[in-house]
Structure 1
């Protein structure tokens, strides 16, 4: 769950580098959701690609519990482009009570194109309590964030942490107090109240066979005014809010772990023109809900895992004027999804590893709304062959400080054969690689 929550926090904080078209002007924010479930950079198999390429739950859990390391995943999304995410983190102990850490993410895929760095100072009161400050860094100064956090942990009941972030902390100071030349940026964003993001996380200890994890984040609705410096008649207001939450319960026995999880995220936007050049008056809301079960097990040199998820995604838009939206009218779009990933590997603690993975992404959707939603993006999008299936042979190597793995997909749904050659025997369906190093 830590990986899932961390990615959503990045989408909330580093907004400038999230993907998506911007209508009318480069500073008109994308309005199809903070969490970028659908963007023009995604084709119909994009969700299947990311499902195949992501780190398995056990490896993601190991990463969340370590202080230092590097991990990277890269995979093909079509014949000319890759999607990749690289994470690097390090913690430096400065005496008994002081620690410094940094977390960096490099990402280029259908949701974001970012270089994101967060530096943290930790003051350790004792073995159970610590507090500190974090600061984000990126190219766009008005997108910097300042976070205060407090962490408590105890062997008998587990750990908990609360984060409170002042998002876009210097935005008003830069745009309103210092001022920016219209040559550098015409349309300025000014917040009526400081945007805040709160996150909580809690987990029971690993010493017990039954374990529970909770992650939740919330950005209360905040209003920002966008005003042109060169046109007195151009101004509009965005009121935007978002939240995400996840819950997992698991049981660990002699040969493995099994569990259930629930996850959801939601974002809302009200956009209202306030001067004559902007007549937009509309509201949009995007929501994703997921229910799932998983099992991970090992016996001697063999390891296996399986995860099944039921999902529902909705995207609704209502209003009277949609002139600042990529869509020119109301929308009531939905998708029902079922995903399955099963993997069996020969996986000794050290040496060559090999295996086979099956990935399925079955999707039922409103075809007419799908065509309308994406007609200004990529044409047919999901409306042809919305469900996809893939078989992936795996080959890798593990050593005490990390692992490397490559996979080559074999198409099982026959919907991505070379154009103009419908009977081609080619069934290659993208490949990927993952690298993890700990030090």
Structure 2
């Protein structure tokens, strides 16, 4: 694909800058309607929109809605809503598309527009390319003259999400449990405490007072020190920190220490297998996850399937093969029996249910690893690089199931990325040295 406006997960950048501003949002609104019309044959499409708590969110919403309206579509406004709520609302409504106005864990000065198909999944490559093309082709005609746009009320859909999450777990499941929540002053600030209370938890919350400029500011998934401060004042059975848009989660144990993301994946996969809900005894993760995850799960009869980085790739494979659990070490977790995108709230409650039923046991131990990013003059295909190809084949055979390596070009920078994992640090260091030597023979490093 050749994308000009879209990055790894929608359009994102400094609000008011070249990559994201009201004009781009307006053009994105036009592009959404055109995509629905030309790719789905929907004449007057509805687009569900939710946003996080950034001050710029309302401005981007209005600009986006003007673009939608001028092209003959309608915006259903969820208000402040987590990204998984937006995906859920798309599935529950007759929307052709949906989008979340958010920059996730980025600081308040940034923002973004993250699209979903009407089924709640992130865009296919074909749809993403079409949207990107249409944004580039859209004009600003009508933007200056358009007044405020009437938005269709979407509060009921937001409530449906809260109710659906709560009803997905046993009533009163958390009675007597003490839970610490860090909502990052973001999109989960109302919904997460409400659902935890509905299930009986005694909660203490930080990051629940957004003011438009404090999202992710020293709170949330990127700041474990906030949770550590909470644990100095009280004891908790579990703690959870969300990112700004609520699609990602960091789990904390009884001592207030963060649990490694791959350890959380192992905990959830083992519990699902024991409950008979892990389809084909398979967990889906990405090429970034440590091989220690495979080793821990292999001993318990669980297979690991890997995809490219990003929860959208995880969700696509899960939908294709019917798998029920996937995730990545960064905290994106996907539950196939409830959602088709990362959902921090459902993930938190799934971990909570395991704790209630007998306790969270960490069986994961990371393998030693080494990674490097080397700047290159160009990026020839690996088939034309005999030293690299031979080295990859030889190391792959030598490492076997006891290690792995990953060699790929960066998608956004003139770099080649190298990753080696093995049971011992000695093997890792030796393998990386051999691999880097092969790269230096085939490529011009700068």
TM-score by length of 1: 0.21
Higher fraction of strand? 1
Higher fraction of helix? 2
